[in-house]
Amino acid sequence: MSKLTPECPYCCRYIDRPKDTMTELGSIIGGRCACGAVYVCDPTGHNVGEAFGDAIAFAKGDWDIGNVESDEYVMKEMDYDMKSHSRVSVKGMNFHAGKLIFIRMAQPTDEKVKEKLVESPDSKNSTVLDEPAFTAMRLKEQVRYLLENGLLDVVGKLALKDKNVIKWLISFSYDKEDQITWRAIESMGHVAHDLRATQLNILRETVRRLLWSMSDESGGIGWSAPEILGEIIRSDPEEFRDIIPILWSNREEESFRPGVLWALARVAGVRPDMVTFSASDLRELASDPNPSVRGYAALLVGATMVGGKEDILRKLSGDLGALHVYSHGSLWETTVSELAQKGYNI
């Protein structure tokens, strides 16, 4: 179970611990964010419906909620551990978390931004950064907004205005079971593409810091550093070809192994000639106990020209190990067998 900082899903501000609050509506366990959103806690996770009703009433200010239309509010929920005051990731685990139900009544700014998002692809990317509702957000909020709406190429344009975008992308990249994490990782490729012509020094410094975060000396763990490095390399394989063997060497570390394979599969998708290794290495990885390693190994083998690839893929084609794979902005559940037989255009 991963424990993460609890933040408002609308504005990314840190939220206070929900507490017993006596309101005109009765007693609730909840709180209010500075952005106007309210949240109500269901500590057990078994009374979400009741918490939802309380949250709607709390947000609206009265119990006349029977005629509230779905377009009058936005609802989000969060897996939450009240004891530690943490957002938790419990997917695939035999663990029952509590819930925080967030309600924010519809705001005019919501529609203003949405109007820009439904314009033509050519126009939306150039206007959303200048939209008053967008510019009023803090940088962290802007980055999250673009990730949530799949505007990954716009993240690169935002980085041209403020290099601190890189910091926030890395901060969003820790929960591998969250689609936003993978979009943050992919966005680093767009950032690298847009910065490489005029701010290559910033990219090189980012690479140095990511490699440092993967070392024992750093005192921390760069959970998504391999994947982020892969996106940077993929943006300009010639410029960053010196990083490929360094990245590949980190496969020896169990915690980084899936990310290294994913990253090099991404690089091999554009420059298979730059990703070279022995068939024996890949056969060993194809027998790894972690299904994510085996699945990503199938992607890597399929994207390269390594000798004996047919034998490795044939072996993996009968592997029913389950894993998630990120492709085209979404996180999908699949099997090693499916990746070996059909591949994925990642």
Task: Let me know: does 224 contact 256? Beta carbons within 8 Å.
Answer: no
- What pLDDT shows up at residue 254? 93
Inform me whether the pLDDT recorded for 1 exceeds 60: no
Across-strand partners of 19? 30
Does residue 226 form part of some domain? no
Domains in the chain, number = 1
Inform me whether the pLDDT recorded for 113 exceeds 60: no
Domain that holds residue 13: 2-106
Instruction: Dump the DSSP string for 55-109.
Output: HHHHHHTSS--TT--GGGEEEEEEEEETTTTEEEE-TTSS---EEEEEEEE--HH
Inform me whether the pLDDT recorded for 108 exceeds 90: no
Letter string b/e over residues 59-98, b meaning 16 or more CB atoms within 10 A of that residue's CB? bbeeeeeeeeeeeebbeebbbbbbeeebbbbeeeeeeebb
Quick count: other Cβ atoms within 10 Å of Cβ 49?
10
Does residue 71 form part of some domain? yes
Q: Which of 6-15, 61-70, 245-254 has the lowest mean pLDDT?
A: 61-70
Does residue 318 form part of some domain? no
Does residue 38 form part of some domain? yes
Q: Which of 146-155, 214-223, 259-268, 276-285 has the lowest mean pLDDT?
A: 214-223
- What pLDDT shows up at residue 125? 52
Residue 118 binned pLDDT confidence (cut-offs 50, 70, 90):
very low
Quick count: other Cβ atoms within 10 Å of Cβ 242?
9
- What pLDDT shows up at residue 262? 96
Shortest CA distance to 202 belongs to which of 266, 29, 210? 210
**What percent of the chain clears pLDDT 90, i.e. is strictly above it?**
50
Roughly what angle, to the nearest 10 degrees, separates helices 179-195 and 225-235? 40
Quick count: other Cβ atoms within 10 Å of Cβ 7?
16
- Residue 209, judged by CB atoms within 10 A of its CB (0-12, 13-18, 19+), counts as middle
Does residue 70 form part of some domain? yes
Does residue 160 form part of some domain? no
Does residue 309 form part of some domain? no
Inform me whether the pLDDT recorded for 115 exceeds 80: no
pLDDT tens digits, one per residue of 146-157: 998 889 999 999
pLDDT tens digits, one per residue of 169-185: 999 998 888 889 999 99
pLDDT tens digits, one per residue of 206-233: 999 999 999 877 655 678 999 999 999 9
Inform me whether the pLDDT recorded for 111 exceeds 60: no
pLDDT tens digits, one per residue of 191-211: 999 999 899 999 999 999 999
- What pLDDT shows up at residue 184? 96
- What pLDDT shows up at residue 306? 79
- What pLDDT shows up at residue 90? 58
pLDDT tens digits, one per residue of 295-325: 999 999 998 877 888 999 999 999 999 999 9
Does residue 218 form part of some domain? no
Helix (H) or strand (E) holding 114: helix 108-117
Q: Where do runs of H (alpha helix) occur along 255-308?
A: 257-268, 279-285, 291-303
pLDDT tens digits, one per residue of 19-61: 887 765 578 899 988 778 899 999 988 888 888 888 888 887 7
Of 53-57, 89-93, 118-122, where does the model show the most confidence?
A: 53-57
Residues near 273 by Cβ (< 8 Å), separated by ≥ 6?
A: 305
Inform me whether the pLDDT recorded for 159 exceeds 60: yes
- What pLDDT shows up at residue 109? 47
**Pairwise CA distance, residues 250 & 211, whole Å:** 10
- What pLDDT shows up at residue 243? 96
